Amino acid sequence: MEIKINTLIDQIETHSNKKLNFRHLIILLIETSKNYNLESDFENLVFIGKFLFNVKRILTRNALAEENYTNLLVEFQNNFSTFISTLKKFSDHFSSNDKIEFENLFLNNSKHEKLNLLIDDFNEIKNYEIDKRIKLI
């Protein structure tokens, strides 16, 4: 029996004791992954989102030697680029209105504040998957 996407998102929010920043977008990404056979790409977004979330926390603590900091920053930048390109793959399948909203929120903004919030959402999804020992899709 497949759990409805809204119910699953409710469970994630209950588990994390907070609302997802972009609940509607996460639902859209899940629906798109199922409709266009992008499930593995969605799982990559979840994994990379968790990675980026944790690396960003490490980088902002400034507790690393310069060489380690530089290496980790390069890893972060490479994975961030992969994250963006994977998101673009999904947006190719969105309706024109959803695509415009998505691109304005996440891809046309050089400050990446919204992307950081989206990365936080993927971190919560991955935490849920780990704690419940399940795959979201």
Q: How far is CA 11 from the centre of its chain?
A: 17
Say if CB 28 and CB 95 are below 8 A apart: no
As a whole number, mean pLDDT of residues 45-57 equals 97
The predicted pLDDT at position 137 comes to 84
- CA distance linking residue 4 with residue 136, whole number of Å: 11
**From the CA atom positions of the chain, what is the Rg in Å?**
15
The predicted pLDDT at position 2 comes to 61
The fraction of the chain above a pLDDT of 90, given in percent, is 78
Average pLDDT of the chain is 93
109's tokens: 């903004």
Residue 78 CB partners (closer than 8 Å, separation 6+):
none
Q: What does pTM read for this prediction?
A: 0.90
Q: Per-residue pLDDT tens for 67-118?
A: 889 999 999 999 999 999 999 999 999 999 999 999 988 888 776 889 999 9
Extents of the domains making up the chain: 5-132
Helix axis angle for 39-61 and 66-91, nearest 10°, is: 150
